[in-house]
Chains A and B, each alone.
Chain A
Amino acid sequence: MSQRDGNVQPFESIDERDLHAYVDGLLDAQRARQVQEYLKRHPDNLKQVEDYRQYNELLRQAHQDVAQEPVPMRLLSIVDRPRQSLWPSITRMAAVGALCVVSAGGGWLAAMQGGLGTSGDNGLVQNFLQQIATNTSAPFESMSVKKLDIQSGEQTDPLNWLTQKVALEMEAPNLAAAGYTMQSRRLITRGAQEFVELTYVNSSGDAVMLYMKTRWEKDAPTIEFVQKDDQSIAFWEEGPLVYALSGALDRERAVKIAELVRSSMTSVSTKPPQVQDIRVMPVTPSEPMQTTHGYRPQEPMAPAQLVPTN
Chain B
Amino acid sequence: MELYWRLACPRVDKSYKAYKTVAGVFAFMKLTEQERREINWMISREIPALRRYAQTLLRGAGDKDDLVQDTLERAMNKVHTWRREGGIRSWLYRIQYTVFVNRYQSQMRRNEVTTEGLDQNESMAQYDKQDDRLECQRMLKALDQLKAQHSEVLVLIAVEGFSYDQAAQILNVPVGTVRSRLSRGREELRAEMQVTQLNEQPMQSRSGGQS
Could you mark each residue 64-95 of chain B with 1 if its beta carbon is under 8 Å from any beta carbon of chain A, else 0?
A: 11001100110011011111100111000000
Given contacts A58-B135, A93-B38, A87 and B48 within 8 Å (CB-CB)? no
Which residues in A have their C-beta under 8 angstroms from that of B39?
87-88, 90, 93
Residues of A contacting B64 in the complex (Cβ-Cβ under 8 angstroms):
66
Are B139 and A55 closer than 8 Å at their CB atoms? Answer: yes
Q: Cβ of B62 < 8 Å from any Cβ of A? A: no
Q: How far is the CB of A212 from chain B (nearest CB, A)?
A: 16
* Least distance between A20 CB and chain B CB atoms (Å): 6
Chain B: CB-nearest residue to A266: B45
| Complex Cα gap A178–B37 (Å) | 31
B77 interface neighbour in A66, A67, A72, A85, Cβ under 8 Å: A85
Q: Does B23 contact A (CB under 8 A)?
A: yes
At the interface, yes or no: B32 with Cβ under 8 Å from chain A? yes
Q: Is A252 an interface residue (CB 8 A)?
A: no
Residues of A36-69 contacting chain B, CB below 8 A: 48, 51-52, 55-56, 58-63, 65-69
- How many angstroms between the C-alpha atoms of A48 and B179 in the bound complex? 16
Interface residues contributed by chain B, number (CB under 8 Å): 73
Q: A68-B48, A75-B69 are in contact. Are A59 and B158 (CB under 8 A)?
A: yes
The DSSP consensus for interface residues of chain B is helix
Indicate the member of A52, A80, A88, A94 with the most B CB atoms within 10 Å: A88
Closest A residue to B24 using CB positions: A86
Report yes or no: B69 in contact with A238, Cβ–Cβ below 8 A. Answer: no
Residues on A with beta carbons closer than 8 Å to the beta carbon of B82:
88-90
CB-CB nearest 9 A-B residue pairs = A89-B27, A271-B161, A239-B41, A62-B136, A86-B24, A58-B139, A56-B158, A87-B31, A167-B84
Name B's A-contacting residues (CB within 8 A).
23-28, 30-32, 34-49, 51-52, 55-56, 64-65, 68-69, 72-73, 76-77, 79-84, 87-89, 126-127, 133, 135-140, 143, 154-155, 157-161, 163-164, 179-180, 182-183, 186, 189-190, 193
A-B contact pairs, 22 of them (CB 8 A): A1-B179, A16-B183, A17-B179, A20-B179, A20-B186, A55-B139, A55-B186, A58-B135, A58-B138, A63-B55, A71-B47, A71-B48, A78-B73, A79-B43, A79-B47, A86-B28, A88-B82, A90-B31, A90-B35, A93-B38, A93-B39, A167-B87
